[in-house]
Structures are given as C-alpha cells and as structure tokens.
Copies of this chain bind each other. A is one copy, B any other.
Amino acid sequence: MTVRVGVIGVGMIGQDHIRRITGVLTGGTVVAVNDVDQARAEQVAAGLPHATVHAGAGDLIADSDVDAVLVASWGAAHEEQVVAAIKAGKPVFCEKPLAPASDACLRIIDAELVSGRRWVQVGFMRRYDASYLAMKAAVDDGSIGAPVLMHCAHRNPSVPPYGFSTEMIVSDSAVHEMDLVRWLFGEEIVAVRTLTPRRTGKAAEGVQDPLIIVFELASGVLADDEVFVNAGYGYDVRGEVVGESGTVALADAGGITLSAGGRRTAVPAGQTRGDRVPADWRERFSAAYDAELQDWLNAVAAGTFTGPSSWDGYAAAAVTDSALRALRTGRRVTVPLPARPDFYAKTQ
C-alpha cells in the first residue's frame, strides 16, 4: 500500500518532509498540499507529479484521495487542523509543538478519546536517533543499573537576532529534552527548576541565554539541561545518563580524523564541508527525521501507532508552562499533570 499524504504547511520543514516522502522513503506519495501562502503551495505542487493544491486546510483533510495528513503549519493552527483530521478519521503527523498551549493539547486529546483510537504522531524525532536509541537500550537492559540522574546539553550556533525570546528557548529548544527524558525513563516530569547562568553577550537584548533547566522525574531522577541557543561554535547535542553502576553518554559522531596544521580534528561524516561540529539540527538528526517519517508511513499502512502520541505532546506543553513559571519565580514548580488515560498506554 502506498500512503497518499496531504501536507498542510509547505514552508522549510514541510518541504523537507515532502522531499523525504518523494525521494528518500518508501511507501508514501504526496497527493495534496495546502499553505496560507497559496502561491507557495502552487510552486511546491508544480514540482510534484500529481499533487492537488487546496485553498483551505479543511478541504485538504476532506479530500478523499488523502489517506493521511502531515501538519507542518505554524503552531497556532495545529489544534484546528489536527482535530479536523481526527474527526475525519485520518492519521495525522504533527510537527512539534502539538499545540503552543497545554489546554489546546488537551482538546486534541479529548477529540482522540472521543474517536476511540489514536490518530496522532508528534514530531519528536530524537526518539528515532540511533545514538539515543542505543542509550535507551543501555538504560533498559541494566548496563548502568537504575538511573539516578542525567546531564543534557542542547547547543545551537545561533538564532535569528529578532524574534527568538527567552520563552522560545524553553518552548522550542528545551521541549526536545522534555520529551526525551520522559521517553528515556518511561515516566513523567513532576517538577522543574529554571536556573539562569551568566548571560552571553551574543544573545539579543533582553534574552536570557543560556538556561539550565532541571527536570525532576516521578522516581526522583534529576535531569539537568543546558540550553544554549547562541553557543557559537556549532550545533552540539550531548547527554549522559548516570546509573547506580555506570553511565552511558552520547559519543561524538564517527567519520574521519583529520591531522593537519598541528591539530587533530574529529570530522563527522556526511557533511558538505568537513572539519567541524555539525552546523545545525538538519545535519545532526537527518537520519532520525527519515526514520521518524518512515515509521509513520509504515504505521499508517499498518493501522497501528507506536510513535510519540498526543499525550506526549501535551506533557511537553505542560512541562514548558511550568519551566516558564519557574523562570519567572526563581523557584521549583510542580507540573500539574492529570493522570494519563489508559488509552495512551504504551502497548496500544
């Protein structure tokens, strides 16, 4: 079965997902597109063999040629589009965040509960990264004993000088670690602290960059997360889980070792220019994005879902809210999370 996908939102990320479905992955084809910028939608469709352009997201969702929907529009539009897909009985892949506010996420959950089954996969692609998967395997198989704490670092070389606020460091960057630690340890984040190190002079005025966010999990495991979006030197994601008898850490990517000019430099493979730390998340997580979307296509074809759920999208939104409150108050904030519906138990 070839899954016929309709894509809502064909900006940079939407186009990248279209490229994947069309030129990298197997089992999917893009049959419809929609964008708030109609001209852009037309342009993208022109590069595809047989894609209809829909004036509205609702039209695309209703299109009987569309088996499944990929939502890559801006966050504020997610709720309406995802709920519409659920009501239409169509599987939907939604880029993170599921919705900017946690109550919007809850409404998506409600719609799914009413429908009686899962329809939504959220774009937390780190769960598909080979290194994180190996880390989780080491945690799960007892290689390091019971986990007691974790260290994370999430560094971007820079962000645009305007429009990337302190809040976005939490909601757009740290949100990846929020989902990651929940997935790694299989439990919820119950409280959060947000610490403010010395501010880098490279950040825009008024932006507190970096942050150290400390996640407290239900079992007492603490995970500290350095989030630094103007780290300058490259895109660098690091992590180490410390357990009762050992630790497991992300290693540097393989590739080649260049010895020249008095330096010995590790150069990850698969980059356009060699001697450097990955330039951005596209380079670092390229294979994870592929695996994520292939997994979704396979799940749609099979009618089952194992990827990040609406609940995962909601939990991340709730932790984001609490981390922002912790930033404002300087205190430990408990995350007001209701019990997870059995519906979202892992083995669905």
Q: Which residues of A line the B interface, CB within 8 A?
A: 22-26, 129-131, 133-135, 137-138, 141, 143-149, 151, 153, 155, 193, 195-202, 210, 212, 214, 217, 219-222, 224, 226, 228, 230-234, 236, 242, 244-271, 274-277, 279, 330, 332
Contacts and interface: CB of A to CB of B under 8 A. Distances in A.
A199 to B, nearest CB: 7
B201 A212 contact: no
B260 A249 contact: no
Given A233-B262, A263-B263, A198 B269 contact: no
A234 B254 contact: no
A130 B269 contact: yes
Given A197-B148, A198-B219, A233-B260, A254 B268 contact: yes
Contacts of A268: 254
A131 B330 CA distance: 35
Contacts of A141: 274
In the complex, the count of this chain's copies comes to 4
B265 A148 contact: no
A251 to B, nearest CB: 5
Contacts of A255: 130-131, 134, 251, 254
Contact of A257 (B224, B249, B257, B259): B249
Contacts of A259: 144, 233-234, 236, 246-249, 277
Contacts of A135: 256
B257 A248 contact: yes
Contacts of A226: 149, 151, 242
A148 B200 CA distance: 7
Nearest to A221: B198
A197 to B, nearest CB: 4
A203 to B, nearest CB: 9
A249 B256 contact: yes
Contact of A220 (B199, B245, B265): B199
Given A130-B269, A259-B236, A276-B262, A220 B249 contact: no
Given A24-B26, A265-B265, A271-B134, A247 B224 contact: no
Given A138-B256, A195-B222, A254-B254, 19 more contacts: A131-B256, A134-B270, A138-B267, A143-B258, A149-B210, A153-B242, A199-B220, A212-B214, A224-B224, A232-B260, A233-B262, A246-B258, A250-B256, A251-B254, A251-B267, A254-B268, A261-B276, A262-B276, A262-B279
